[in-house]
Amino acid sequence: MAPPPPGPDVLLVPRHPFTGEPWRPTDGTAPVVPLDIGVWAHLAVPGETSPIPATGALPEGVLRDDYPLPFHPRRPFLPHGRAFAHTLARLPAAREPWLRAHYDSHRGPY
């Protein structure tokens, strides 16, 4: 029997739209990085426009028009260069050639 795959190093989690509290995983083993629910929804479920599920039913002939506009970034989501390089520098896997190339490209002259 194969061992279970390793858990994630970091979890990207949404913040509650009303309270602002980050979602907490049940096991609580990995550190969490809270994101705005709109950014998280764009990464987790592309194409979904409503971060808050509707409850109940609308009367016959009534159309919903209260969805926020979908997030359309002008360019792909990129991490902050120095923060990304600092995080990679602390990982043992950063010495591997495939990850070292990413580290070198984001390190820059700081």
pLDDT per position as a tens digit, 61-100: 776 666 666 677 788 877 777 787 788 888 888 788 888 8
Res 52: pLDDT: 57
Assigned token pair, 80 = 């902050």
The yes-or-no verdict on residue 25 having pLDDT over 70 is yes
Res 51: pLDDT: 53
Tell me if 85 sits within 8 A of 107, measured CB to CB. Answer: yes
* CA nearest to 11, candidates 19, 29, 2: 29
Res 79: pLDDT: 75
Share of the chain above pLDDT 90, in %: 0
Res 53: pLDDT: 57
The yes-or-no verdict on residue 17 having pLDDT over 70 is yes
Tell me if 105 sits within 8 A of 85, measured CB to CB. Answer: no
